[in-house]
């Protein structure tokens, strides 16, 4: 071990941190500017998608950090998965428009198998415990949109668990670990899910067209962890029914 000089000083530079966050935010925003129309991800929480589209808010430092890590790891994982030399900075497998669904969608990759494109999705996760199917719900909601789009009963989901405790016998602490899942659904499940997507897309389109509160409130409430004054910048405009005015959500 080397001995550091006694005169060494290390001062945290918060000004430089703010500048860096701004740079990364600008870079992330430049990269997402050309997204038009309704995208698969808008149907996961369509009410938030409505407010994000009609009243876009600047990214917070938290969003910048999370999106940056997700984006970079996406490119690395896909490059490794697809056998690229070096890094391919495209962070998905390209966008497809499904006219009947009325949305565009971009699975991370597709693999042709028996004449069907099997779509796959990659997610990073910071939980410290092994994920159950219910923990994977929001990922599965998204993966199933791709399976509907590709009319594939099969799909793949990969998670990189960044903080999972090391398995017994592999030392102390945590290390990032991959989990791979085969996802399958039957034809009627795909059909029902497609009908649900079309319904949500139509509700979102209607709200975007009329901008009337009655139409906006027909959009389902977003999932719990995205909602609340401290989580959602649209809380005061949205006034989510059954939540707004309650301490749990207002704080
Ligand atoms: S306040 Fe809640 S329900 Fe309303 S848009 Fe935000 S997350 Fe969705």
Q: For residue range 125-159, what is the model confidence (pLDDT) as tens digits? A: 999 999 999 999 999 999 999 999 999 999 999 99
Cα separation of 245 and 251, whole Å?
10
In a domain, 84, yes or no: no
- 219 CB under 6 A from ligand 1? no
Do 239 and 167 reside in the same domain of the chain?
no
Q: From the CB of 233, is ligand 1 less than 6 Å away?
A: no
* Contact indicator for 221, 47 with CB cutoff of 8 Å: yes
* Domain enclosing residue 182, as ranges: 92-219
222 lines ligand 1 (CB under 6 A): yes
Question: Residues 163, 248: one domain?
Answer: no
Q: How many domains is the chain partitioned into structurally? A: 2
What atom in ligand 1 is closest to the CA of residue 235? 1
Tell me, what's the pLDDT at 34? Answer: 63
The pick from 57, 63, 208, 226 for probing ligand 1's pocket by mutation, whose C-beta has the most ligand atoms within 8 angstroms, reads 226
Q: For 138, which DSSP code?
A: H
Is position 69 within any domain?
Answer: no
Kindly state whether residue 54 falls inside one of the protein's structural domains.
no
C-alpha distances in Å from residue 112, one per residue of 53, 89, 90, 96: 34, 22, 20, 15
First to last CA, the chain: 48
Q: Please check whether residues 145 and 227 belong to one and the same domain.
A: no
Q: What tens digit of pLDDT does each residue of 193-219 get?
A: 999 999 999 999 999 999 999 999 999
> Do both 239 and 133 map to the same domain?
no
In this structure, the answer to whether residues 119 and 190 fall within a common structural domain is yes
Q: 98 and 160: one domain? A: yes
pLDDT tens across 80-123, in order?
A: 998 999 888 775 667 889 889 999 999 999 999 888 999 999 99
Q: What is the pTM of this model?
A: 0.91
Q: Are residues 235 and 145 in the same domain?
A: no
**Does the residue 1 lie in any domain?**
no
Q: Is the CB of 249 under 6 A from ligand 1?
A: no
In a domain, 7, yes or no: no
Pair 215, 233 in one domain: no
Residue of the nearest CA to atom 1 in ligand 1? 235
In a domain, residue 122? The reply is yes
> What residues contact 218, with CB distance under 8 A and at least 6 apart?
203, 206, 207
Q: With 70 as the cut, is the pLDDT of residue 168 above it?
A: yes
């Amino acid at each position: 071990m080397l001995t550091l000089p006694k005169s060494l000083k290390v001062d945290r530079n918060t000004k430089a941190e703010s500048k860096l966050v701004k740079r990364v935010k600008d870079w992330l925003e430049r990269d997402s500017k050309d997204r038009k129309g309704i995208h698969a991800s808008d149907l996961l929480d369509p009410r938030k998608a409505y407010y994000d589209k009609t009243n876009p808010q600047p990214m917070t430092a938290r969003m910048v950090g999370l999106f940056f890590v997700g984006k970079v790891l996406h490119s690395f994982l896909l490059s490794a998965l697809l056998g690229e030399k070096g890094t391919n900075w495209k962070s998905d497998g390209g966008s497809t428009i499904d006219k009947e669904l009325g949305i565009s969608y971009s699975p991370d990759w597709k693999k042709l198998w028996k004449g069907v494109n099997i779509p796959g999705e990659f997610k990073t996760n910071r939980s410290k415990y092994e994920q159950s199917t219910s923990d994977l719900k929001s990922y599965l909601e998204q993966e199933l949109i791709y399976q509907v789009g590709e009319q594939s009963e099969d799909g793949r989901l990969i998670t990189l668990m960044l903080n999972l405790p090391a398995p017994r016998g592999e030392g102390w602490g945590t290390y990032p670990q991959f989990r791979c899942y085969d996802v399958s659904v039957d034809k009627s499940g795909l059909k029902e899910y497609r009908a649900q997507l079309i319904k949500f897309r139509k509700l979102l389109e209607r709200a975007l067209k009329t901008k009337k509160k009655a139409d906006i409130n027909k959009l389902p409430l977003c999932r719990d962890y995205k909602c609340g004054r401290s989580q959602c910048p649209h809380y005061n405009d949205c006034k989510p029914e059954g939540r707004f005015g309650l301490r749990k959500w207002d704080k």
